[in-house]
Amino acid sequence: MIIFVLAVLGLCLGSFVNALVWRIHKNKDWVKSRSQCVHCGHELSAKDLIPIFSWLMLKGRCRYCQKPISKQYPLVELIMATVFILSYLLWPTSFNEPGQWILFVSWLAASVGLLALAVYDWRWLLLPNKLVYPTFLVAAAGRVVYIAGYEPDKWLALLNLLGAVAVASGIFFLIYSLSDKYIGGGDVSLGLVTGTLLAIPINSLLMIFFASILGLLFALPGLVSKNKKLTTKIPYGPFLIAATFIVLLFGQGITDWYEQLLT
């Protein structure tokens, strides 16, 4: 039953992510604005906004102008639902542990903002502060409540949290400051979010490592085929966000495995 609820909630919030990204890009009020076709501007009704099913029933076209609707819309909805389900199934700590539900719910809420950031960066090579800072506040609120109410060694947890943020944001700040802007300022701000969610410095380092691998795998085919150059801009935010998801759910297992190799 929980999985079903998370799936439905994820699909609905994925639909919200699509609308949110477009409204922010068009500088519209993301709360009061109504959903509309991006081609003809016709206001969409409830029957046009059923996650996945509306797109399938309309065969990927607008009901009113018949122009194609991007596959991004059902894809984002499916990704959000998958993130919610996998997060519940693979959560690294038992939900019977005090305070875990607080971290879990704050992660789900933050993941909505993270997916919106990933989509925005993928499309327009930008991580807008309008998305970054609210997502950071959600992540920080969950972590602070957990530390204050359930963490036995509060000072150590707080130092680890600050260290995780310093690593996730500080490394990119140095690259941004000292290089020829190989990364954008948004990646620095995004480190506030990812560091807060990952909570310990080693996890932030793992996140950067996996993001680099994912980014390289994405860019390599283009470099080999010479369709892309080393100076070609690529959206790094989606890889940082995907790596955060990987480390959040598997980081402890990866760390334990590595320590076993060394012993």
What is the pLDDT at residue 40?
A: 83
Tokens at 183, concatenated: 């990364």
Q: Looking at residues 30-53, what average pLDDT do you find?
A: 80
Tokens representing residue 96 in the block: 């019977």
Sign, CA dihedral 252-253-258-259, equals: positive
Instruction: Find the distance separating the first CA and the last CA of the chain, reported in whole Å.
Output: 43
Q: What are phi and psi of 61, to 5 degrees?
A: -130, 155
* Residue-level pLDDT at 226: 64
Query: Residue with structure tokens 């992660």?
Result: 107
* Cα(263)–Cα(79) distance, integer angstroms: 38
Q: Which residues contact 56 (CB under 8 A, 6 or more apart)?
A: 74
- Three-state DSSP state, 169: helix
Confidence at residue 181, expressed as pLDDT on a 0 to 100 scale: 65
How many C-beta neighbours within 10 Å does residue 247 have?
A: 25
Encode pLDDT of 122-139 as tens digits.
Answer: 999 999 999 999 999 999
Mean pLDDT confidence for 56-79: 90
Give me the chain's average pLDDT, please.
91
Strand partners, 148: none
For 151-165, what is each residue's pLDDT tens digit?
999 999 999 999 999
Residue 182 confidence (pLDDT) above 80:
no
Residue 100 CB-density burial (10 A; 0-12 exposed, 13-18 middle, 19+ buried): middle
> Is 228's pLDDT higher than 70?
no
Stretch 231-256: mean pLDDT: 89
* Domain ranges within the chain, ordered by starting residue: 1-90, 99-263
Question: 160: how many CB neighbours lie within 10 A of its CB?
Answer: 19
**Residue 183: pLDDT over 90:** no
Taking the C-alpha atoms of residue 15 and residue 232, their distance in angstroms, rounded to an integer, is: 31
* Residues pairing with 36 in the sheet: 43
Give residue 50's pLDDT. 87
- Average the pLDDT over 1-27 and give the result: 95
Check: CB of residue 79 under 8 Å from CB of residue 111.
no
